[in-house]
Chains A and B, each alone.
Chain A
Amino acid sequence: MSGDAGDAAKRSSSRDENTEKPETPGTGAGGASGPTGASNPGSAGTAFGPQEIARRDVSGSAAGRAREGMFGIQGSGDTSGFGGLRLPGYAPAPAERPYGGWFDEVADEAAAALADDGGADFDTCVHQVTVDRGEMTWYVDREHLVRLARTLRDDPALRFEFCSGVSGVDYGEGVPQQLHVVTHLLSMTYRRRLRLEIALELDDARCPSLVDIYPTADWHERETWDMFGVVFEGHPSLTRILMPDDWNGHPQLKSYPLGGIPVEYHDAEIPPPDQRRAYT
């Protein structure tokens, strides 16, 4: 769709101008793409603007746990040297202008439309823009989600008339604002796709509902409630959808066990998948 779009932008990691932001781990197997690739030293001159925003963003868009050691082995004598590895948690790098392709146009139009109706401006609604692998993600403040979505849907220059889906992501314990609600929007008029992401604390998992704007969000939000326990405020009937009505817990949370049982083959016992050795 937009292979050339974010090529320059996604490499403009703000690593060197923002020392407080954890570095992205260079664990790429393919190695070629992603925000871990290269940094852009050219924009280090800007004194506070981007730096301020980037510093605030780390909690809102953190997307990975810091790691120590390797192979998930703890408490044994380390003879390999891998036990000393320290990898900081991953956080998607904020993109810098120009984002490339139509990304700038959408951001400009949204900013203009939001300014027109007199509410909070674009930078307040969207606290980080990330362009990664040719896809644009906006990290949105939940207070402004509904207004932003309405603008995106109704503005003639934006026309994101189609909501492709809403789902959740649990980044696991130890990540600030570990619960994310991800909304995929599609503009059939302009053939563009946009991802809205809201970061939530696990003990304050509340998010405004988009059902008024995109009726299709109904079941998606029910599923996200069912699987992650995110309360969508304003949803007409937020009930469980996949699990039975009287189920306890929200299965897609990382803290919820998979519930596998060990399997025996002849003399060997194979542990359930969630208890097998993980290499990450």
Chain B
Amino acid sequence: MTTSDQTTQDPYAATSRETTEGTVYTVTGGDWDEMVDQTAGDERIVINMGPQHPSTHGVLRLVLELQGEVVTDARLVIGYLHTGIEKNCEYRTWTQGVTFVTRADYLAPLFNETAYCLSTERLLGVEVPERAATIRVLLMEINRIGSHLVALATGGMELGALTGMTNGFREREEVLHLLEFLTGLRMNHAFVRPGGVVQDLPEGYEERIRSFVEVMRGRLPGFHKLLTGNRIWRQRLEGVGYLPLDGCLALGVTGPILRSAGLAWDLRQVEPYLGYEHYEFEVPTDTAADSFARYLLRVEEMSQSLRIIEQALERLEPGPVMVEDAKIAWPARLSIGADGMGNSLEHVRRIMGQSMESLIHHFKLVTEGFKVPAGQACVPIESPRGELSAHLVSDGGTRPLRVHLRDPSFVNLQAAPAMSEGGMVSDVIAALASLDPVMGGCDR
């Protein structure tokens, strides 16, 4: 490595080395001007951003070709968070698959679980009980708020609006506390299972959820006060990351990005599942098709989610939360004990002391799993980022033959070059933030 002579004076100065492709500079921040000075006359620069960069939303790598400060060519490199979730699912039972898919898009775990379970249930030909469907809706909408809050928080952070970040994460903490109370875990819940949900909501859930709704009602307008009217925020976002409707359709983009281009395409309304047709809510749209419109839509969607949560609470009738079919329903009766969650003592007493058949059944269903009739199914749902579906193939066995998650982050990221080429390099960050990609879901 040949180091430029400034280095001896300034430890943070840009370093450079010669390669067969030309000079490669390592720029760490404040030395950008220096690097530009050194490259005077050679205006076309290829810069590598990421995969570990605070502004790339996780381990995403961008290769940008710059002409001055204008991006002429953007290429995205993904795969840094590829964890083989789909392959792993092929070696686990259908129920165990839930714990894997929930880790894909880690900001929307309950959506992954529900998408997977809906497809499994279509393969099985079962319909979940009313209460289980409503609990799923309830949890998903709480989760949607949490996910959108992270989108705002990290988006704010990437543009330097650090108060947006602290406020967003503070509000999200409310979501996580609530989800921990309801499901036992803050993230990666594995609460939704094929056939229903793993257990009923704990006592006192209604008061907790209602007070959560009240708190969020009070705090969501804060984003408008903090950001919507903020001149810097508007200047950074308005007209940035433009992607019109035809571009969205060609690139397969869904979710808030598609709705910001004017199409009111929300699967909760156009292809209702889990009884969404009974809920009253609006699908906000915009026609600006820019990052600012997407920001506004996310804030508005959170308010709509609060409406759905309240209606779901009204719709919750006492009843079973798992299908009656003993061949599918998890035999365990879980309860929160003094030492965390486990099987209820009555259940253990029964299977260990009284009923040999129950013990055998419990053992077989937990270790072997249930069989799913051969065939394939794919049920799309509306995740915070767009269309999410699990394409499941069964060969009639106790394990899936193939699990494929159509994750919206993966598809939407393809639109990043279309949004940022021809714009300034600083706008790449704003455009990416408006896509709200989650690399766990993108790479799976």
Contacts and interface: CB of A to CB of B under 8 A. Distances in A.
Given A34-B373, A34-B375, A216 B91 contact: no
A133 B125 contact: yes
A248 B338 CA distance: 50
A169 B328 contact: no
A273 B88 contact: yes
A164 B406 contact: yes
A30 B368 contact: no
Interface in A180-218: 182, 184, 188, 191, 193, 195, 214-216, 218
A169 B402 contact: yes
B330 interface: no
Interface range, A side: 35 or more
Contacts of B328: 29-30
Q: Which of A25, A29, A31, A87 has the most CB of B within 10 A?
A: A29
Interface in B236-275: 249-253, 263, 265, 270-271
Contacts of B371: 27-29, 280
A33 B252 contact: no
Given A242-B82, A278-B399, A167 B125 contact: no
Interface string B258-301: 00000101000011000000000000000000000000000000
A134 B84 CA distance: 30
A36 B271 contact: no
B376 interface: yes
Contact of B374 (A90, A195, A251, A258): A90
Interface in A25-63: 25, 27-36, 63
Contacts of B123: 34, 133
Q: Which of B86, B88, B263, B396 has the most CB of A within 10 A?
A: B396
Interface range, B side: 35 or more
A173 B370 CA distance: 24
A90 B396 contact: yes
A132 B82 CA distance: 32
A92 interface: yes
B387 A164 contact: yes
A214 B401 contact: no
A65 interface: yes
B134 interface: no
Given A35-B375, A135-B378, A170 B271 contact: no
B91 A274 contact: yes
Interface string A225-268: 00100000000000011111000000110000010100000000
A280 B396 contact: yes
Q: Which of A33, A161, A214 has the most CB of B within 10 A?
A: A33
B189 interface: no
Nearest to B122: A133
B125 A33 contact: yes
Contact of A27 (B92, B374, B399): B374
Q: Which of B82, B270, B377 has the most CB of A within 10 A?
A: B82
A34 B396 CA distance: 11
Interface string B104-127: 000000000000000000111110
Contacts of A172: 395, 401
B374 A34 contact: yes
Nearest to A256: B87
A137 B376 contact: yes
17 contacts: A28-B125, A29-B370, A33-B125, A36-B374, A90-B396, A133-B125, A165-B252, A165-B411, A167-B391, A169-B393, A182-B391, A191-B271, A218-B414, A219-B410, A219-B414, A223-B410, A273-B88
Interface of B: 78-79, 82, 84, 86-88, 91-92, 122-126, 249-253, 263, 265, 270-271, 325, 327-328, 368-378, 380, 387, 389, 391, 393, 395-399, 401-402, 404, 406, 410-411, 413-414, 443-444
Rank and list the top 4 A-B pairs by shortest CB-CB distance, nearest first: A280-B397, A216-B252, A33-B125, A30-B124
Interface of A: 1, 24-25, 27-36, 63-65, 87, 90, 92, 132-135, 137, 161-165, 167, 169-172, 182, 184, 188, 191, 193, 195, 214-216, 218-220, 223, 227, 240-244, 251-252, 258, 260, 273-274, 276, 278-280
